[in-house]
Structure 1
Amino acid sequence: MSGIVAFIGLGHMGGPMAANLIKAGHRVRGHDLDAKALKNATGAGVEPAGSAEEAVRDAEVVITMLPAGRHVLGLYGEILGLARPGTLFIDCSTIDVADARTAHERAAAAGMRALDAPVSGGVVGAEAATLTFMAGGGEEEFAEARPLLEAMGKKAVHCGGSGAGQAAKICNNMILGISMIAVSEAFVLGESLGLSHQALYDVASTASGQCWALSVNCPVPGPVPTSPADHDYRPGFAASLMAKDLGLAANAARAGGVHAQLGLRAAELYAAFAEGGGAGKDFSGIVRTIRERSGERT
């Protein structure tokens, strides 16, 4: 791919992703409403654009990384009519499945092509180019996007048609949110029974309780020195983002009539955690809430 890649949304995730495209030899023109984010991206080699409209003109591919579906759909309303016919739009935001499908429909109506490609891996993965992309859309669009996705991550999976990438993302994060709560409850239960964190970790990490929430993102300090728990729960993956993703999963479960009791309860717990001051902490910090509600002090 020799043309321009427009990248809109250059924050904590988008900035490093754009920088990795440049490292892979791509020409990137970017825009962000935050002047500091745009300046940081410019320092990494991104060609700054004064507006999203300016960024997409003559671009071969347009990548977006935005907070919510309303931002994606609002932006598409502004830029779809300005891009070259046939431009590939890749949305890496995590948004509602219905919004993703609407974005596909609007892109097609404007003569464009689209892919929803949310990511897993957080800021660390964005910086290290180790993200996993879950893509929804046509096979041709995925094949064209794949070199770009692989420049920004370690794995790209074509999950199916429009919205399938978002569906995979919210299902994955429902598993993650539930498992982090389960691991956290187990550690607090262990504390009440006089079991050390290390002992529980040594058993569970090599037994049937093993999972990513335990072995990589352990919610208590000590057993995994690289986990956010050993760094005052600095994210990682912020609790506000987990609350958002679980909210999307809960909405989808309700709409589909799915009996997802644990998923719905996890969404409630993370919403309360984020609203109660944990929004800027790693999502593993929910262990503190569980401990406090168990009569313990952090």
Structure 2
Amino acid sequence: MELRQLKYFIGVAEELHFGNAARHLFISQPALSQQIRLLEADLGVELFVGISRTKLHKVELTEAGKVFLLDAKHILQLTDKAVRSARQVGAKQQVINLGVFKLILPERVMGMLELFSAHFPLVEIKLVELPNPVQVQTSIANDQIDLGLSVLPLVCEGLIATQYTQADYTILINKDHHLAGVKAVMLTQLKKEKWIDHGPEAGLFYGQLEEVCRQAGFHRESNIAQYVPSFDLLKSMVRSGKGIAFIPASLDLRQEPNLVSMPIINANGTPFKEIVIKHVLIHKSEQPSPLVQALSGLLKLQIRQNF
């Protein structure tokens, strides 16, 4: 008998439906049915009423199944407690150096820290701000940091990236801008605009953004009025009317009544998807520490639970 079989059994017992349980357990229905049969064979008893399962397409626990359900839940609770206890003891005095590309939004960083601290409260997370995505990757490759929050693509070998979210680009404008009243903008409408940007070194996809603007008929780079090191300064410059800017659609503007985030559309009215910002957690692929593997695994588990 395996722990996963207990999880499968509990899943079916709670759903009373093999199809629904299979979807929630991320397993195919035939594989789930097979594991339940193996568990019943190992126990030597039927956990679900056989006639109902085969003829009436109903799922009903036998008396033995009802008793086993209580004990199975208790076993898994004890297992989870043992795992937490082992993690807490093993995590004492452990430190993880988390490199963060400086333009990652603060709420993304806080969300990751909250996820880690909820499961590993004794692990100390030291944040290291780095100027660009490449520096995050090289720092991991050179063992200067353990994990990194950055964006794709990967340019260094020997790294693993787990994507946890993505964002489209939008255009940030002042509320008094002449385009502020439209629902969406095309890049061809922005030929005469002044721009605010983070610059070629720190800016996300700087070269790719230049290329899509050239395809739209203008050279944005020659119209950049100011390079700024942070989103706060970028918002301030746009707010004061010094220019417009490319920003991630996820940038929080709820406290910015004087700023508007304009969706970008193509000439045919479809959303602009030529450049998508893919946020990732990165670590080395070769012999990561158990703690690094556990933290990365937490993120993967959360992603599965959200879909």
TM-score normalised according to structure 2 size: 0.32
The structure in which a higher percent of residues are helix is 1
Q: Larger relative CO (CA 8 A, sep 6+): 1 or 2?
A: 2
TM-score normalised according to structure 1 size: 0.32
The structure in which a higher percent of residues are strand is 2
| Greater Cα radius of gyration, structure 1 or 2 | 2
